Amino acid sequence: MKIDFQNKKVLVTGGTRGIGRQIAKDMLELGADVTITGRSPEVDFTGVEYMQVDFLDDDNTNRFIEEISIKQRYGKIVNISSIWGSISIAERACYSTSKFGLRGLTLASAAELAQFNVLVNTVSPGFTLTDLTRQVLGSEKMQEISQNIPMGRMAEPEEISKTVLFVASELNSYISGQNIIVDGGFVNV
């Protein structure tokens, strides 16, 4: 058994940087026909189709949905949330609210789309070594946080991507409506 995306169409929203870019890169390497979205007019990412989409613009979003509408009666949807959709701390109210909401969307979508053979899951990363993490936290804060993670380090984007690859692959034929937390044990402490 191996993960193979040959002859599969994959859409990665937010695939221009960080975890999304890693997922798109890994899907591409496994043979997928990959489309990514972002807000920039153009992006430097060879081998993928790029669609500029601003999800804050209703007209732009509606055009995007019409263009990607898939009537295959089959598919996998993997929402990317965060540990802050399972736990929270002070000054995270808005962010946690959006991530808890994404969890609700996953549950409802899994129930509604099962009849069409579409599996819907959430992958919730913990602290992950992306450019944004480095920019927001800085090295001192990152080191402090790493000491509070049972694994003693933050995740690499590849580690989050591997989880997404599994739930989006043919190896997953029955997991739906789940929230898979990839955090090195942080939520458990």
Among the listed residues 50, 74, 95, 174, the single catalytic one is 95
**Token code pair at residue 115:** 């009849």
95 is annotated as an active-site residue: yes
Active centre residues (catalytic): 95
